[in-house]
Amino acid sequence: MPRSDDQQPVSWEDSAIRAAYEQYGVEGFYQRFGSSYRNPHERVIRATLQVAVARWDLPLDRVLDLACGSGEVTLVLRELGCAVIDGIDPYTHQAYAERTGHAAERITFEQIAAGALAGRSYGTIVCSFALHLVALSRLPALMTQLSLIGAALLVLTPHKRPQLRPEWGWRCADELLIERVRARYYQRTYELIDAPDM
């Protein structure tokens, strides 16, 4: 568990992270320790992502690694042949850059909900171990904005939440569970229509 002087622990364990969330709050934890953060579930995230991509034939032409952490998803996606990956995380961008060699954009969920990614297009959006931390009241706007830029959404979560709703732009097509990590495959509930030329 992080010490009171805000020094990071030697290694991150799941129980230490939960205790630090309680001590600092989720945002405060990542503000203090984001540059050194490593997801303690990286091994199972790797395995789950490999199975999910193969099982659902997810489009890997251009992927958004949302709440990209220290790059655990990006590294696996590269191994699976994805060449264009945009990482976004306002707190762990330093850890991401150190592991992947690429910069992560420092955009928050609140900024995304307000349209910060408007005009972009992704075959797949992957969000690993983050959406369950978003307040339910903030999910509709965030998910609606994501549905405007991505055709497929893969959510990796250690919980049953979040449960995304079709009115937010996403329909759960399938789910798998590997060692207590859930992968939910969502498809956009509508097709985007190009505006007619004027």
Residue 138 lies inside a defined structural domain of this protein: yes
pLDDT at 137: 87
Residue 196 lies inside a defined structural domain of this protein: no
Of 43, 192, 13, 46, which is closest to residue 126 (Cα–Cα)?
Answer: 46
pLDDT at 163: 86
Residue 177 lies inside a defined structural domain of this protein: yes
Residue 5 lies inside a defined structural domain of this protein: no
Of 171, 184, 154, 177, which is closest to residue 66 (Cα–Cα)?
Answer: 154
Residue 21 lies inside a defined structural domain of this protein: no
Distances, alpha carbon 188 to alpha carbons 8, 167, 196, in Å: 39, 10, 22
pLDDT at 130: 80
Give the total number of structural domains in the chain: 1
Cβ neighbour number for residue 39 with a 10 Å cutoff: 21
Residue 27 lies inside a defined structural domain of this protein: no
pLDDT at 112: 97
Domain of residue 129, residue span: 42-188
Residue 77 lies inside a defined structural domain of this protein: yes
pLDDT at 169: 95
pLDDT at 2: 43
Residue 139 lies inside a defined structural domain of this protein: yes
Residue 68: which CATH number? Answer: 3.40.50.150
What is the C-alpha to C-alpha distance for residues 157 and 33, in angstroms, rounded to an integer?
A: 21
Helix segments in the chain, DSSP class H: 14-24, 26-33, 42-56, 72-79, 93-100, 109-113, 139-147
pLDDT in tens, the chain (198 residues): 344 445 444 444 554 555 555 665 556 555 555 555 656 667 888 999 999 999 999 999 999 999 998 899 999 999 999 989 999 999 888 889 999 999 999 999 999 999 999 999 999 999 998 886 678 789 999 999 999 999 999 999 987 778 899 999 999 999 999 998 899 999 999 876 654 554
